[in-house]
Amino acid sequence: MAPKIPSVFFKNGASIPVLGLGTWNSPPGQVTQAVKDAISVGYRHIDCAHVYENEHEVGAGIAAKIEQGAVKRHDLFVTSKLWNTYHRPDLVKGALQTTLRNLNLKYLDLYLIHWPQAYQEGDVLFPLRPDGKRVHFSDVDYVDTWPELESLVDAGLVRNIGLSNFNVQQVKRILDVARIAPVTNQIECHPYLHQTELREFCNEQEIIITAYSPLGSPARPWVKQDDPILMMDPIVKKLAKKHTKSPAQVLIRYQIQLGNVVIPKSVSKQRIAANAEVFDFELGVDDMLQLSELERSGRICPESFSFGHQHHPFEEEFRKGRQ
């Protein structure tokens, strides 16, 4: 029997399943099956993005399950994200329409600005400078992009809008101009990186946190041999043993108990199913404390291509770390 995944409510009254399938860094050719498997075992929340270059595969998986009669479109919650090369206001609607075509959908449940920093406009996802280490920047300000997302809601193409990878000051700037407030800020969050100040600020503003890389993204393309592996951490393993659960299940449960929506990625049917088996146990106060004490500011996704950009969200913390 597939677990029933509960939902939480945004400030505007719309609901989102607390657990979703992440699709970042999923190997090409395996995403369609992963989506079908996820829906089969009870997932109703799929997180994708234009930059992942696999939305057509996600769309094929969704279409197959709808065709089978396993789900209807309104049963699903599908998120995508506006990429950095489409921040210019006149490009936003076209970028969404490309995503909708790829996903074979008429509307999205949630559309996010993927990063606050804009890149040189065009269809090259990472328009690199000659040194190959940094991208060409665009000076478009995300506060000028936001009204275009609001107009997508007005047009019925998007049900909810939000942010991703925005720091406290950047969220404040959006709130200052917003007619429709962001419902979520999707950020990296796991025991090595809690982003406590940002989470507390968003909670005060009733902006739900969606946690990506909750398992520490062990298969990320830039992983180094000596990088710590979160799922191998002695505390995580000890708690897994205590609760007769896997390290991944402990880490997913941790995010849920912090009050976050969580989107672990997998293409293995067995792991996709196991990742949803987190509603039959609870971490105790001491368990939560032990995980909170693993903080090491261990950011996995610094988007170092855009260091130097005036809107890079983590520039300050990396400068401090180098001092």
Phi-psi region of 128 (alpha: psi -120 to 50; beta: other; left: phi over 0): beta
Separation between Cα atoms, residue 31 and residue 167, nearest integer Å: 30
151 DSSP β-pair partners: none
H-helix or E-strand spanning residue 238:
helix 234-243
Task: Say if CB 192 and CB 215 are below 8 A apart.
Answer: no
Task: Say if CB 39 and CB 13 are below 8 A apart.
Answer: no
Task: Say if CB 23 and CB 45 are below 8 A apart.
Answer: no
Look up residue 319 and give its two tokens: 């400068």
Half-sphere exposure of 232 toward its Cβ, with a 13 Å CA cutoff?
6
Phi, psi dihedral angles at 139 (to 5 degrees) = -95, 15
Which residue, chain included where needed, has tokens 């979520």?
184
Cα angle 235, 240, 246 (rounded to 5 degrees) comes to 125
Distances (CA, A) of 66 to 69, 250, 321: 5, 32, 49
Q: Which of 43, 52, 86, 111 is catalytic?
A: 52
52 is catalytic: yes
Instruction: Render 15-66 in DSSP notation, one character per residue.
Output: EEESB-EE-TTPPTTSHHHHHHHHHHTT--EEE--GGGT-HHHHHHHHHHHH
Task: Say if CB 192 and CB 296 are below 8 A apart.
Answer: yes
Catalytic residues: 52
